[in-house]
Structure 1
Amino acid sequence: MLIASVAAGLALLALVTQAGVVLVQRAYPAPGRLVEVAGAVLHVVDTGPRDAAGPPIVMLHGASANLEVMRQPVGERLAKNHRVILIDRPGHGWSTRADLEDSTPAIQGRMIEQALARLGVGKAIIVAHSWAGALGARMALDYPHRVAGLVMLAPVAYPWPGGVGRYNQIVTTPVIGPLLAYTITLPLGYLLAGPGARGVFLPQAMPDGFVRNTATPLLLRPREFLANAWDLVTLKAAVAEQAPRYAELKAPITIMSGDVDKTVSTNIHSRPLAAAAPNAKLIVLPGVGHMVQNAVPDRVIAEIEAMIGQMAPGTAAAPPPARTAADRDRAN
């Protein structure tokens, strides 16, 4: 009797989840185009003038998100004067991936590089937030012909103490993980999405309507929730593997991080990266948390514009002047 009751309850939750997926996807349709690459179809919003001076700007979002978290604070404003390409990372938003384990920066970087080639993009400035910091760095290492410069916002770059949340480990467990994803994740997630997002913004306040305006409920779909969990549980090993190569980075890099970021530690990630990369500039923002693009959008845009200003159309910028450790650590 108990087993039958549990099975019936799970079946009901599965039906609720499938109905919820339909409703969520109707509420947040894909605003861009789909680009086929090996092993995936990537959703891309390609906006702004094609004949703008300087390289295009490619914006990559972090974990538990989609391209809207990059478009609304800074992407739309940049698109007034530049070609801006916003991409749902593989498995997120309206992008797909063939295998849940296509979760590392190396694999996703290959897919995104293929999409940029299909879009006719030569060199681009990569603007990457959080998880995508590791992705941007990997693309600059593996595809230097594609990366004119990197602007990294609160980037993940190195291994860190601890894990990424017990629930991510559970969700990536065979059988149990998919069972949970296809039954309780969506209904429970609706209750927790707001508080969870609010915590990432601290000490800044989360913008009104953030969850709704950024299509965050798309994350609660089983296939995306599973993909996100795989991204997180495989990231630590991935950055451990690529971090010794950071001295090979040739592109100019601007790193912007808050000094009170509780999600991605500036001391663990941004400071060591700035010390390792030859052409890096570190900006530590006082009193700023993890969502740098929301906290200081004008500053982010100014730094992107400054990098573009160093570049002739279609070429990489010359390396910035040599900096002392104090220079790289100064927030100006």
Structure 2
Amino acid sequence: MRILLILAILILGLAALTVWRAARNEAQARIDTPPLGEIIEVEGHDVHALVKGSGPDLVLIHGSSGNIRDFTHSLVDQLTDRYRVIVLDRPGLGYSEAVNPKGDTIFEQAAILQKAAAQLGADKPIVVGQSYGGTVALAWSADHPDALSALVTLAAPAEPWDTPLAGLYEINSNPWLSWAVLPVISAWVPNSHVQNVLTEVFAPQPVPEGYLSHFGRMTLSRGSQKATALQRKRFLDEVRALKPRYGQITVPTEVLHGDADDTVNIDLHTPSLLNAIDGAQLTTLPGIGHMPQHVAQEAVLDAIDRAATRAALR
């Protein structure tokens, strides 16, 4: 009995330490990576938005597990000389509030981000989305066809797939298991592990110098992890629902995808868009992986400029 009591005390102590450490790490992450823009209220929900530059309106939507700092590392400042750039944290991530506690669908995200852009004066922006954010951009284009001028997707999932949901997303989307696992990740995962994950995401290109320190650890907060898991759990069904509607997208569309992308395969995910969207143009990026906004920036900038020209904005 005494051994069980000691064991219980040790477990409770470790749990308390883990929760305390998770809260401390999250507080430090907010200090290290504060909001870069303003927090606006959209239909009662906080949305973090950064607005820079002048010219035609351009909205950037980041990928899974990310926040606006992915784009602000280097891309945004290359656009502000000719565009009014609006970068938005997706719901539940960065400093934006989740809209749906059960997991924000791509359609709910598109709706709140579209309203945020309009509230900031961008009624018909060019919409650019990377990875998961590219699928949100596709949902924006299908659901709100009069609320954008052009579309650019970067390594966007667009076709249903047959691989199972990653185990960590299954755990973190479970209301009981996540209660135990999320604090452990936030408290104890070291920066070296984050760097290793980034290395896999950026492969075969290297992680840009200074990216980790700029991006920070906000993505490891309990709230961000939970939001990402809930979104990813529903993602496949949402892509299945969205795919038949690609033909409704009528704005000039530029599709960029690296042929070395092992995260979102170009051969699986681009044909649906090219076949369904009238005038959609594909730029294949030889040897480029999943992060063209960093490692193929000239091609990304050219695609945005082409979209603007095709939409008669330049």
Short-chain TM bin:
over 0.9
Gaps of 5+ in 1: 318-332
**1:197 alignment partner in structure 2:** 198
The separation in 2 between residues aligned to 1:73 and 1:266, in whole angstroms, is: 25
Q: CA deviation at 1:312?
A: 3.3
With normalisation by structure 1, the TM-score equals 0.89
CA shift, 1:71, in A, is 2.4
2 CA distance for matches of 1:56 and 1:189? 38
Tell me the TM-score normalized by structure 2: 0.94
Change (3 A) 1:297 1:224: same
Q: Counterpart in 1 of 2:265?
A: 265
Give 2:16's match in structure 1, choosing from 8, 11, 17.
11
Residue of structure 2 equivalent to 1:306: 306
Which residue number corresponds to residue 325 of structure 1? none
The offset of 1:122, in angstroms, is 1.5
Per the alignment, in what secondary structure is the counterpart of residue 151 of structure 1?
Answer: strand
Partner secondary structure for residue 207 of structure 1: coil
Report deviation, 1:310.
Answer: 2.7
The Cα shift of 1:4 comes to 3.1
Aligned to 2:292: 292
Q: Secondary structure at the match of 1:150?
A: strand
**C-alpha separation in 1, matches of 2:130 and 2:53:** 21
Count residues with an aligned counterpart: 309
What's the secondary structure of 1:73's corresponding residue?
coil
- Residue among 8, 33, 36 paired with 1:31: 36
Deviation of 1:98 (Å): 4.1
Q: Deviations over 1:187-234 (max 9, x none)?
A: 22534211001101111111122111123x101111111111112111
CA distance in 1, matches of 2:310, 2:135: 24
User: Could you say what secondary structure the match of 2:149 adopts?
Assistant: strand
User: What's 2:242 paired with?
Assistant: 242
- 1:46 is matched with which residue? 51
Map residues 29-178 of structure 1 onto 2, 5 A cutoff: 29-49=34-54, 52=55, 55-178=56-179
C-alpha distance after superposition, 1:141-190 (max 9, x if no partner): 11111111111000011211212311110111112112211233342253
Letter in 1 for 2:258: G
Distance 1:142 1:132 in 2: 15
Report the CA distance between 1:283 and its aligned residue: 1.1
Q: Is the 8 A contact 1:39 1:97 kept in 2?
A: no
Contact 2:48–2:95, Cα closer than 8 Å, also in 1: yes
Structure 1 counterpart SS, 2:204 = coil
Q: Deviations over 1:59-92 (max 9, x none)?
A: 0000121111122332211012210000111111
- Aligned partners of 2:278 and 2:15: how far apart in 1? 54
Three-state SS of the structure 1 residue aligned to 2:74 is: helix
Checking the alignment, whether the CA contact within 8 Å between 2:62 and 2:68 is kept in structure 1 is yes
Q: Which residue of 2 aligns with 1:329?
A: none
Counterpart Cα distance in 2 of 1:66 and 1:291: 14
Deviates more, 1:21-30 or 1:274-283: 274-283
**Is 58-67 or 303-312 further displaced after alignment?**
303-312
Secondary structure of 1:147's counterpart equals: coil
Counterpart of 2:218 in structure 1: which amino acid? Answer: L
Q: Distance in 2 between matches of 1:11 and 1:92?
A: 25
Query: Alpha-carbon deviation of 1:100?
Result: 3.3
Unaligned runs of 5+ in 2: none
**8 Å contact from structure 1 (residues 62, 131) kept in 2:** yes
SS state of the match for residue 96, structure 2? coil
Structure 1 distance, partners of 2:75, 2:219, is: 22
Counterpart CA distance in 1 for 2:128 and 2:28 is 31
> Do the aligned partners of 1:159 and 1:240 also contact (CA within 8 Å) in 2?
yes
Aligned partners of 2:150 and 2:311 also within 8 Å: no
* Runs of 4+ residues deviating >6 angstroms: none
The Cα RMSD (Å) is: 1.5
Q: What's the offset of the Cα at 1:303?
A: 1.4
Structure 1 vs Structure 2: percent identity of aligned residues? Answer: 27
